Homo-oligomer: A and B are copies of this chain.
Amino acid sequence: MAIQRYKLTIAYDGTHFHGWQEQNPPDGPSLRTVQGVLRQAVGRTVGQPVDLIGASRTDTGVHALGQTAAFTAETRIPLERLASAINSRLTDEVDVRQVRIVDAGFDPIRDAKSKQYRYRIHNAGHRPVLTRSQVYHCWYDLDETAMTDAAARLIGEHDFAAFANAGHGRETTVRTVHDCRIERPSDLPELHIVISGNGFLYNMVRIIAGTLVEVGRGHWPADCIDVLFDARDRAEAGPTLPPQGLCLEWIRY
């Protein structure tokens, strides 16, 4: 038995959580967060309190299929049983999908090479029912060709200042988007915006989704993206679409 650092891959339904990040308001009870319930489940499993750091601070209502977190602990539980041991202490809203042993210095935030998000738009004249906590409902027809054109303009290294809400607290707003594309799943009345990159600013994917929907509705031309890169003005980009359409799909190291 030795002290080891563990990397977790986690899926969760963000609907009933106040986001990923633990919050302890000075007056009042602490809010229920994914990090909070997971840290407690891991601590009880390994029999000692742990520090648990996540790669991405997803907002209230945002989902994940591939969030990554890390903790350091000493435990007799074999590696192959650790995921189910932790899962047995979690509700069915959170699922630890993989546990790996990593270098003692592994930092899930700093070491992340790229991430992929998916924004799901229910694009139909009727309301979503079964998927309602996982999609944004857009009643209007969307021009997929124009959206694909605009999405392609986001690829590459750019200054995404226009696509970040205040409070991002980052020194630079330059990021590299590796891919951005539009998908229409064959069996659902949905349109998805799939985007991967080396890092994302606060609300960046939801603002990009809001901007692409403006393009899809014909309000703005596809080359508004280039204008927004130059303007660097949040007020000129599209609205921040609601959180429930967003899902963190994977993080690569």
Give A contacts to B, CB under 8 Å.
Answer: 11-13, 63, 65, 87, 92-95, 97, 126-127, 129-130, 132, 134, 185-187, 247
CB distance B97 to A132 under 8 Å?
no
- Inside 8 A of A185's CB, which chain B residues have their CB? 187
Task: Select A13's contact among B92, B95, B129, beta carbons within 8 Å.
Answer: B129
Q: How many copies does the complex hold?
A: 2
Among candidates B12, B129, B132, B187, residue contacting A129 with C-beta atoms closer than 8 Å: B12
Cα distance, A37 to B116, chains bound together (Å) = 41
Q: Is the CB of A129 within 8 A of B94?
A: yes
Residues on the B chain within 8 Å of A247, using CB: 130
Is the pair B186, A95 in contact by a Cβ cutoff of 8 Å? no
A126 near B13 with CB under 8 A, answer: no
Residues of chain B within 8 A (CB-CB) of A126 are: 11, 95, 97
- Cα A11 to Cα B127 in complex, Å, equals 9
Main secondary structure of the interface of A (DSSP, over half): loop
CA distance A231 to B132 in the complex (A): 44
Inter-chain CA distance A95–B132, complex, in Å, is: 11
Report, nearest first, the 8 A-B pairs whose CB atoms are least far apart: A11-B129, A95-B127, A97-B126, A95-B129, A13-B129, A92-B132, A13-B130, A130-B134
A94–B126 alpha-carbon span in the complex (Å) = 11
Complexed CA–CA distance, A22 and B180 (Å): 48
A127-B63 Cα distance, complex, nearest whole Å: 15
Query: How far is A87 from B87 in the complex, measured between Cα atoms in Å?
Result: 39
> A63: which of B63, B94, B130, B187 is its contact (CB, 8 Å)?
B130
Residue of B nearest to A132 (CB): B92
A138 CB → nearest B CB, Å? 16
CB pair A92 B127 closer than 8 Å = yes
Bound Cα distance A216, B245 (Å): 34
| Residues of chain B lying within 8 A (CB to CB) of residue A92 | 127, 129, 132
Which B residues are CB-close (under 8 A) to A132?
13, 92
Chain B nearest Cβ from A211, distance in angstroms: 25
Q: Identify A87's interface contact among B11, B95, B127, B134, CB under 8 A.
A: B127
Q: Report A116 CB to chain B, min CB distance, Å.
A: 14
